[in-house]
């Protein structure tokens, strides 16, 4: 579960992260998540998550939704059978926690700033 989230910070299982993160199915955190293009999300930016085969991916696009998620990225994820939620990071955290509490195979990709 994600315990706390605010601009530039997220706390997962007692550990505080101040850079973008991936959360794999089962809760393993991949810190310091970098994308090929800082504020744009491509399918290859999600390789670690795709290897884990989640049924759902929650994308936190930043507190001001500055990270662009192109429609072809979303379409490719859906073609892989992954349900996709894209929201500002604060709302994405709430969705992630709700899905985890329901026992879903969910992963998250969270942009923690803009």
Q: Closest Cα partner for 3 from 99, 91, 97, 95?
A: 97
DSSP state of 39: T
- Domain housing 106: 2-110
Give residue-wise pLDDT tens across range 30-39: 999 999 998 9
Give residue-wise pLDDT tens across range 44-61: 999 999 999 999 999 999
- The pLDDT assigned to 38 comes to 87
- Cα gap 25→106, rounded to integer Å: 5
- Cα gap 5→93, rounded to integer Å: 7
Identify the CATH number of the domain in which residue 37 sits: 3.40.1230.10
SS3 string, 50-61, reads HHHCCCEEEEEC
| Number of domains forming the structure of the chain | 1
- Cα gap 112→101, rounded to integer Å: 22
Q: What does each of the 114 residues of the chain score in pLDDT, given as a tens digit?
A: 999 999 999 999 999 999 999 999 999 999 999 999 989 999 999 999 999 999 999 999 999 999 999 999 999 999 999 999 999 999 999 999 999 999 999 999 999 999
């Amino acid at each position: 579960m994600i315990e706390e989230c605010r601009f530039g910070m997220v706390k997962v299982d007692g550990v505080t992260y101040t850079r973008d993160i991936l959360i794999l199915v089962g809760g393993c955190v991949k810190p310091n998540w970098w994308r090929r293009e800082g504020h744009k999300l491509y399918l290859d930016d999600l390789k670690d998550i795709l290897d884990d085969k989640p049924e759902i991916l929650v994308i936190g696009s930043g507190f001001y939704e500055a990270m662009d998620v192109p429609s072809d990225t979303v379409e490719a994820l859906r073609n892989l059978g992954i349900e996709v939620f894209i929201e500002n990071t604060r709302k994405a955290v709430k969705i992630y926690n709700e899905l985890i509490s329901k026992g879903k195979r969910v992963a998250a990709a969270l942009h923690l700033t803009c």
